[in-house]
Amino acid sequence: MTDWTTADIPSLSGRTAVVTGATGGLGYETAMALAGAGAIVILTGRNDAKGLRAIEGICERFPDALIAYEHLDLASLSSVADFAKRFAAGNEQLDLLVNNAGVMALPKRQQTEDGFEMQLGTNYLGHYALTARLLPQLRRAKASRIVNLSSLAHRSGAINFDDLQGKRSYRPWRAYCQSKLAMLMFALELQRRSLAAGWGVTSVAAHPGYARTDLIANGPGANTLQWRVGRWLQPFISQSAAEGALPTLFAATSPAAEPGGYYGPNRFYELKGPPAPAKITPQARDFAAAAMLWDVSATLTGVSFDDIAVAA
């Protein structure tokens, strides 16, 4: 695994991938690499103009790329359902789902159209519902994978079941950490349930370390003293979006990626470097909390993996 790069991605010819949040940053670099390896890649995002520019950018590098763009807003359960219906109508199976899209540390509490706290709704609940709705297509594929994007921030996270939506007390960073912990717990719980129920789907998680993306540059801390110091340290502690996408790509494509594994950069505090197994905190391995989160998510989204699996 040492110094693993995109050159190590096996041929993905004939395989179909969906990447959320693929109009820029980590998602764009992930989609670029998958297309370069021959996959049929569906880029999704909520900004259609950026989506078209992303398609143009990938085609400039890979003129023969098999790519398309589809509108998908993870902050809208109806948008998730509409996308899943469109995908099912045109695709019998799905080989790879990369749950990448996200928002970070919004200064003021915002809500999705379904009334969820924006970070929990976009980063986690939307992906939970999307994954469930695409389960039939994932099950029809041979050796399909789901990759959930977590973060180093999960280490500071806690699932506050008493105030999951931050209605009583909202703190931007706490809400972000909770959403990223939820994504890692979801990945691990999904692997356990896939094995138990015989779904035949592999679930893996990844994080990018400190990757220089618009999520950071346009974040709520921009232009603060802490942000300016961070900018000065960036060359030493961060890496490009393309480098930050490598753990995701390893989790998505490498034969060495373990089911239920978690991958991130291998250097100082997992901030940068080639992909390697990443640290999973004890709260992410809390099976009882993960099961509770799964049930709460099904209730909140109105989407049940078990019901969809039976129907499939």
Q: How many domains does the chain have?
A: 1
- Could you give the residue ranges of the DSSP H alpha helices within 37-134? 48-61, 77-90, 118-119, 126-133
Return d(Cα 213, Cα 261) in angstroms, integer: 24
pLDDT grade for 235, boundaries at 50, 70 and 90? low
In 3-state terms, what secondary structure has residue 220?
A: coil
Q: pLDDT, tens digit, for every residue of 99-108? A: 999 999 899 9
Whole-number percent of the chain with pLDDT over 70: 90
Return d(Cα 82, Cα 63) in angstroms, integer: 29
- Its domain, for residue 267, covers 10-311
pLDDT grade for 279, boundaries at 50, 70 and 90? very high
Return d(Cα 30, Cα 12) in angstroms, integer: 13
The reply to whether 37 falls in a domain is yes
294, 16, 136, 289 alpha-carbon torsion, rounded to 10°: -10
In 3-state terms, what secondary structure has residue 115?
A: coil
Return d(Cα 308, Cα 46) in angstroms, integer: 25
Contact 179, 121 (CB under 8 A): no
The reply to whether 295 falls in a domain is yes
Residues tagged active-site = 176
The reply to whether 3 falls in a domain is no
pLDDT, residue 238, reads 65
Average confidence score pLDDT of the chain: 92
The reply to whether 2 falls in a domain is no
Q: pLDDT, tens digit, for every residue of 9-53? A: 999 999 999 999 999 999 999 999 999 999 999 999 999 999 999
Q: What one-character DSSP code corresponds to residue 6?
A: G
Q: Quick one: angle between helices 25-36 and 246-253, nearest 10?
A: 40
Q: What mean pLDDT comes out for the span 141-170?
A: 97
pLDDT grade for 67, boundaries at 50, 70 and 90? very high
CATH number at residue 290: 3.40.50.720
The reply to whether 1 falls in a domain is no
